[in-house]
Structure 1
């Protein structure tokens, strides 16, 4: 266990070190629950300062800075030695929903130490269910059933309780006591927690075409809007990508496309820009936030630009430098992360068959104009590059990229089925 303080890595003395302290370390690192709390330099003595002579945690804290400890300084002059460096062994947890009508509803089960167990419903609410739904990529939580609604589980009750604020990406980032079988503490499977999730539909409404307008989300069968608090190009980029509308060119606020009606499902959304759907971003519990003082006068919008695609300077239309048309201007793609997966999507979108090569380093000569993509990450089966993951579409040359790293593609076909990269209808 090492801590960086004042730019220098140091260790923690094992005085008072236990499963409670190790649990907080594992949680802070997103590494699941603690399975062991080794003492006496089990993983070998460290070097540098001993920043903590001890740490005292209750176990549910989200970071060691929320625990109790003396002033952080080098405690070696006080007689502490490297032979007492503390350690931790963590276990990343798997999560699933069991015994529901589909994979996105059911009893919440957690796999630890190779064994599936359940979660007690003490403190269980929509915030905790929201995190569960996000972890298996099931969209938003629509219900948080308690009292073994989906039937009583078997095996350990790993969590006595969990406390989440709703924006965490996984359960192990929430607060909870040390993981163990809580049956001996009087808990029974009659209190097993459950979750019902619903993937969200997204659309743009009241624009001049389907790729611009007010952002609307369908939740529990009803269309509602998104408040523009924290709304920016990063969030708009995710909406545009989800709709297959290319990159975001604007992220209007204050109901530019007119105020919507119905619920305001999102108080805010925070995205990094590369996510493939808003359900993979951070957001509070999905509910009608109008009672909290929000009005449709702050509905968020997005303007997208469907991207055209072509291969340039090859021997035929199905090989060459990858070029993308954005905001009326042709530009290129940086070859960071460029591989067969990304080239396969380019070839498929152009109707050029499969990818047989992925030239990098401007093999087909450096392009001109903007470098629209800093990188693209595709799994391979996508039908268009706009359905892959990528940062905000903009000219990335100010970020030290040059056309000497323009990406290319060689496809198995010799002539494309479409012109100018427009997808076949």
Structure 2
């Protein structure tokens, strides 16, 4: 509290208070990575490199964060939030209450464009130390987000990199720093994506391949001869991963879609087209026609991609349209609203080809799909389909339909059977998957299945 007494309570909340003129610098106190740390400020005579706090009642991320990252030579703030160490820092040197970020050009505008309290805040209500996680590099001018010219934040400046001192291990580190999987797919040595407008970093970069940032690799003390605009490096990374979280262990080809980026999980929410569903299924290694359903898995929504759109040729979800977002960045109440409004995408990566039809001794109508026998859900099952099914099974007469609720040991219900009028073979019938019309939840799974009495076997 000595700083508040020094500058006075009246001065503490005035924009452009005299202490601002004494700010001589900002830095990121490393939190394991050079691009990840606590924002500190230096005000000689008051505090030497003390923490900055930021009143942030609802919004954990705003344009000021991007300006901070750009100031230190990085790209922007990452959507990934830094590992918080709230409560483990000493009293704040400066507390920011709000900023007119639209009018700010650099973080040196903070004293003039922000409301500041010098010293600790008068209340600890809902405020945070200004911890920042910056994006340390970017890939530019590639055909997809996974490829392009490498521009990396190196020792305070965003720079293109000379290819003469850059190998596959350094490329792997670059991909990992962007949140992608290690294992670069291609390295271009000859300014394939142009030289760009940034200065060219001409030192040799030696990496083991396990580092989390190019800045953590070894760098030579002298420039490499011959580095110029004709040999700027470009790379292509492997995309982030997706997987299905199935409700049923017997169906690994269907489930709620999850993505993984920078060692954290995100949800895919909203609507996806049939083309997108098929493309995502191909990424998962399923060579079947895909379709999507909307799931309500009662999960908390934190990181997400909304309304992903693929054209059909992509090999990674990162090549499809749809940006990774952080829900709390759009205010906590809105995050809760989104969790209730938007449904997670469920994928069904099978063509569900009807391979056979039969009645078991108890009269249960069974269909063979994916080489397995499944009971038929009563939903959408009509008297007409019952007539056609009996005819296909070489029965005559007018079948009667009864339904029964599946028990723990019953044949699993897949979906409904729909046959065209006057069907003569299985080719005239198709399967309507139960989760194409039901929310993808265990408690919504179809339990009632069909029994038929076709009366007479055709002779």
Same fold flag (TM > 0.5): no
Return the structure number with greater strand share.
2
Larger of the two Rg values belongs to structure: 2
TM-score using structure 1 length: 0.31
